[in-house]
Amino acid sequence: MEVIIYGIVNGMTFVLMAIGFSFVYGISRLPNFAHGALYVVTGFITWSFINNAGLPYLLSIIFSLIIVTLAGTAIYQFVMIRVRGMPISEIIVSFAIALAILEGLRLQGIGGFKGFIGPGYVLPRFMDGVLETSGVTIDFQRLFIIGFGLILLFLMWLFTHYSKIGLSLRAMAQNERAALMLGINSDFMANIALGIGSALAGLAAIVIMPLGNVNCESGYSVLTTAIAVCVIGGLGSWMGTILAGLILGIATTIMSAIGGTMWNNVLIFGLIILILIVRPSGLFGKQKELEERV
């Protein structure tokens, strides 16, 4: 029982981490390797707003989300737009941005900047307290992750199915040239997609980070987790991301209950290789088979 509940929490964490990456890739075919960096940046900005500027928690969350969204659109507008369609350059440029951000946060002693190093950076939990049901203890923050994840997924579904921008985004994802012909500005839409993707990364950070502390290393692990989930679920597929996230979460929780944390990564590794052998486009991959597999 405990394993299942914690597995679902874990799975929802994975889904939240991966959904932004999957969203951007699904719509604009841009691999946003700066995803993990944006995740970490949100945590630090929120922390600074609370502790340096003395703003209330909710307000600093809103401010940092706005800043991260703007950062995402700026990355597209000034950098990614020039290399779109060249896979090598896309990966390298976005990863270089990620590295510059993550290592830049650790800079010390330039203009009195201290650098975000050490365990002192902790975001407060939304609500303290624990819930006990049928012998399982679970704290409110983890419950909140499940609830928030479900609401977010539902809202995203509403947005992409019933709003004008969401519909244009889906049109772009299906066939960019046809969308262009129908008067959808593809650069503008890709820009919006990257903005929303960054906001999703930020939201994930705000919900997940109170469970641990904020550090730069988590940027890399979030990125690898997001990629692993997307590869297993099928790059750019919504259902695939959700399903793969939940499967991975439950499977890793079971694995660490049986064998220890070392087996988590072995499991992820094994699953990826297995999926690539059996179904290279992932569980729900809708890319044309020929484009990725010969």
Partner 1 sequence: MFETLRGEELKNQERRKERLDRGIKARTEGLYAIQSWREVLYLIAPRASLIVGLLILPLVLPGLYWQRVLALAGVYALLAVSFDFLAERVGLVCIGGAFMIGVGGYISGALNYYLKLPIFLTIPIGTFGGALLCTLLWLPCLPLRGIYFAVVTFMFPFLTTSIILAGNLFEGTEGLSPIVGFPNIWIGIYLIIFILLLSIFGLRRLCGEDIGVVFSGIKDNDQAVLASAINITRIKVYALYIGSMIGCFSGAFVAHFSGFVGVSLFAVDFSIMPIAACIMGGPGTLAGPALGALILSPLSELLRGFGQLRVVLYCLVLIGFILFKPEGLLNWISRKYHQTEHWVKV
Q: Which of residues 1 and 258 has its CB atom nearest to partner 1 in the complex?
A: 258
Element (H, E) at 269: helix 262-278
**Least distance from partner 1 to the Cβ atom of residue 49, Å:** 24
Shortest reach from residue 127's CB to partner 1, in Å: 31
Least distance (Å) between residue 165 CB and partner 1 = 26
Q: How far apart are CA 250 and CA 245, in angstroms?
A: 9
The alpha carbon torsion through 45, 51, 56, 61 (nearest 10 deg) reads 10
Shortest separation between residue 205's beta carbon and partner 1, angstroms: 19
CB of 103 closer than 8 Å to CB of 240: no
Least Cβ distance, residue 89 to partner 1 (angstroms): 5
Q: Which helix (H) or strand (E) holds 137?
A: strand 136-139
Tell me the closest approach of the beta carbon of residue 130 to partner 1, in angstroms: 28
Q: Considering beta carbons, is residue 107 or 130 the nearer one to partner 1? A: 107
Q: Which residue has the tokens 């590794």?
A: 269
Residue 251 structure tokens: 């499977």
Which residues bind to partner 1, rule: CB under 8 A?
Answer: 31, 79, 82-83, 87-93, 95-97, 99-100, 103-104, 106-108, 110, 115, 220-221, 224, 227-228, 230-231, 235, 260-262, 264-266, 268-269, 272-273, 276-277, 280, 290-294
Phi, psi dihedrals of residue 136, rounded to the nearest 5°: -110, 130
Q: What is the DSSP string of 182-225?
A: TT--HHHHHHHHHHHHHHHHHHHHHHHGGGS---THHHHHHHHH
52: left (phi over 0), alpha (psi -120 to 50) or beta: alpha
DSSP symbols for 36-83 = HHHHHHHHHHHHHHHHTS---HHHHHHHHHHHHHHHHHHHIIIIIHHH
Q: Which residues pair with 133 in a beta bridge?
A: 136
Question: CB of 274: closest distance to partner 1 in angstroms?
Answer: 8
**Smaller CB separation from partner 1, 63 or 263:** 263
Nearer to partner 1, 58 or 294 (CB): 294
CB of 103 to partner 1, least distance (A): 4
Closer residue to partner 1, CB minimum distance, 149 or 249: 249
Spatial separation of the C-alpha atoms in residues 117 and 109, rounded to whole Å: 12
Residue 25 CB contacts under 8 Å (≥ 6 apart), including other chains:
31, 32, 230, 235, 236
